[in-house]
Amino acid sequence: MKVAEHDGKIIALHIDTPALGDTIAAIPTLRKLAQAYEGKIVVFTTKPFLFENHPLVEVAHPASDEKELANPRYKIYRTFMPLMGKQHNIDEQPIEFRYSNMDFRQFHAVSLGFTLKESEMEMDLYIERPRKFKFDDYVIIHPTQTWATRTWDREKWQELTNMLNDKGIPVVAVGRDSQEVGHFNTDKPVMDIDIKYGANILNDNNNDIHELRWMMNNQAKVVVTMDSGMLHVAGTTDVNIIQLGSSIDNKLRAPYRQGTQEYKYRFVRGACGLFCSSNMKYNIGIHGSINGVPPQVNCLENKPTFECHPNVNQVFQAIMKLYLENG
């Protein structure tokens, strides 16, 4: 496939977000752009490694390469940030940005003036490198801390790990400390987990998304995660996924595979199903407008705990059911 051009300019896509999952969510928009211009797209992104070997990408430049970004030979389409509104540090005051109640795959597309059909929502990556363990059919967990509504307590991850190990099921903990610099400025540390049977590769510099995708496609039985970048990584593979409940409507985040959000996907939530972070009445109550995200640090119903989060036994039972069904 040739490089996409029009009127003497090379077509480029600037995926203007610092977040891993939000970057992966731009892939359907990239695909539509490549189809429209009938050629490979040049990408500018904070995560250029994601686009290695991608058949629709000519080259992925770091978004920090301001000189290349300003090169007049490109016609650049910019996604995500053009739709953002006020931006605040999460610890100081409520964050606000427009179209907060949208699927972020659509968020990228709307940035360029179109929407995606369900059949166009699948995300694909082409990076993979073997990381073999002596055991297989293991559970991958992603115990990381982010916004409070999307953080399952360390004690719960540890109890789940213990219960699985007691059943002879190996657990592999993945993830690394990170900081999302940009519109959120959020620290995202991982939570250390003691594993009797399996592997703790948290903050392992020798493990990256290339290896994680191989693990998911070849040895892992299931990935258990909150709404996070790991959910979107798993959504580019064929692995079973269990997503834990949060205040965000899971239908706005669940991956599309095989043309549906139901393929090898299970959602386990707690007693509360209000999805208040995706409910515009809470936006109005705090911001006076539907165009804002409520704070993600407390329950918006003023409950002492996040009842949208499942308990440990719910998650354990969902995993065990999957093992029983799939052998």
User: Residues near 150 by Cβ (< 8 Å), separated by ≥ 6?
Assistant: 226, 227, 228, 246, 247, 248, 296
Architecture of domain 138-326: 3-Layer(aba) Sandwich (3.40)
Record the tokens describing residue 139, joined without a space.
Answer: 């559970």
CA-CA distances (angstroms) from residue 101 to 18, 152, 154?
19, 22, 28
In this prediction, residue 88 carries a pLDDT of 47
| CA dist., res. 49 & res. 209, Å (int) | 9
For residue 270, the one-letter residue type is G
pLDDT tens, residue by residue, 55-90:
999 999 999 999 999 999 999 999 987 776 555 444
Average pLDDT estimate for 134-156: 95
Helical axes 312-326 vs 154-166, angle rounded to 10°: 40
| Higher pLDDT among residues 246 and 178, named by residue | 246
Give the lowest-confidence range in 39-43, 132-136, 177-181: 177-181
Q: What are phi and psi of 111, to 5 degrees?
A: -55, -30
User: What is the domain partition of the chain in residue ranges?
Assistant: 5-120, 138-326
Percent of the chain with pLDDT over 70: 90
Angle (CA) 76-81-85 rounded to 5° is 145
User: Residues near 50 by Cβ (< 8 Å), separated by ≥ 6?
Assistant: 20, 23, 24, 60, 125, 127, 209
Whether 295 has a pLDDT exceeding 70, the answer reads: no
Per-residue pLDDT band for 140 (boundaries 50, 70, 90) equals: very high
In this prediction, residue 119 carries a pLDDT of 96
pLDDT tens, residue by residue, 297-325:
788 898 999 999 999 999 999 999 999 98
Percent of the chain with pLDDT over 90: 75
